[in-house]
Amino acid sequence: MDTTGAPQSGSLRERKQRETRQRIAEVALRLFLTDGYESTTLDAIAAAAGISRRTFFSYFKSKDDIILFGMEADSAELIAELLKTSPDVRPLDAVQDLLVKRIARHTTEEMTAIDNLMLSSESLLARKQAFYAKQEQALFLALREVWRQPERQSALRMVAMVSVGALRLALQAWREQVGQRKPAAQFLRDAFERLRTGL
């Protein structure tokens, strides 16, 4: 999971803050995966990151915020890539291509570990649902920047909605598969194909 999030520019102090924030997130994720989300304390995270508990709260408000930080950083990169898309490309094709490429960067083992982590906490699951709504809105705003014709606004909102829906259904199908596990990217490609067929 990419946890950089912020643009790589600014003063030395800002760069150090980004580096510290990233280090905390990476250390915490490692502890979550080895010791369990609920069993990992803020004190343990702070100690492993080489900071005080008080310093931890300068960067994150809770353990949930650490997980959401990684998800939001990944989403921000997706949006940045979408904004570079040529308006000659069909919007749905552009979103599918970027989503599949980003999800394909993660191994099945990584995704399984993160998925199990999310399922282990009711609060994380609730925030994940809220994140999907936020991602849908961010997608729509980015699509509107690339395809600027006013008459396309409703269609672009639908592209954002069905794309996030396809992502959610694909990840659910990937999670529920039995036997030899196929990569999540394949489920996502299949979801978009079913979407086009159904429409």
Residues 6+ apart with CB under 8 A from 14: none
Task: Please say if the pLDDT value at position 8 is more than 60.
Answer: no
d(CA 45, CA 63): 9
In a domain, 70, yes or no: yes
pLDDT band at 10 (very low <50, low <70, confident <90, very high): low
Whether residue 69 sits in one domain with residue 48: no
In a domain, 1, yes or no: no
In a domain, 124, yes or no: yes
Summary mean pLDDT of the chain: 91
Whose tokens are 């080489």? That residue is 50
Q: What is the mean pLDDT of residues 7-25?
A: 84
Task: Please say if the pLDDT value at position 14 is more than 70.
Answer: yes
In a domain, 103, yes or no: yes
Q: What CATH number is associated with residue 183?
A: 1.10.357.10
Q: How many residues does the chain have?
A: 199
Task: Please say if the pLDDT value at position 34 is more than 60.
Answer: yes
In a domain, 3, yes or no: no
Whether residue 170 sits in one domain with residue 85: yes
In a domain, 168, yes or no: yes
Q: What is the reported pLDDT for 33?
A: 87
User: What is the pTM for the complete model shown?
Assistant: 0.84
Q: Crossing angle, helix 12-35 and helix 42-49, to 10 degrees?
A: 130
Q: What is the reported pLDDT for 168?
A: 95
Structure-model confidence comparison of residues 121 and 159, the more confident one: 159
Task: Please say if the pLDDT value at position 178 is more than 70.
Answer: yes
Whether residue 145 sits in one domain with residue 103: yes
Task: Please say if the pLDDT value at position 2 is more than 90.
Answer: no
Whether residue 179 sits in one domain with residue 95: yes
Can you read off the two tokens belonging to residue 170? 């694909």
Whether residue 50 sits in one domain with residue 83: no
What is the span of the domain harbouring residue 44? 12-59
- Number of independent structural domains in the chain: 2
Whether residue 78 sits in one domain with residue 46: no
Q: What is the reported pLDDT for 9?
A: 52
Whether residue 183 sits in one domain with residue 91: yes
* Closest among 146, 160, 127 to 80, alpha carbons compared: 146
Whether residue 53 sits in one domain with residue 119: no
Q: Tell me the per-residue pLDDT of 73-86, one tens digit each, with 9 for 90 and over.
A: 899 999 999 999 99
Whether residue 160 sits in one domain with residue 104: yes
In a domain, 2, yes or no: no
Whether residue 192 sits in one domain with residue 100: yes
Q: Tell me the per-residue pLDDT of 88-118, one tens digit each, with 9 for 90 and over.
A: 999 999 999 999 999 999 888 888 888 888 8
Whether residue 47 sits in one domain with residue 81: no
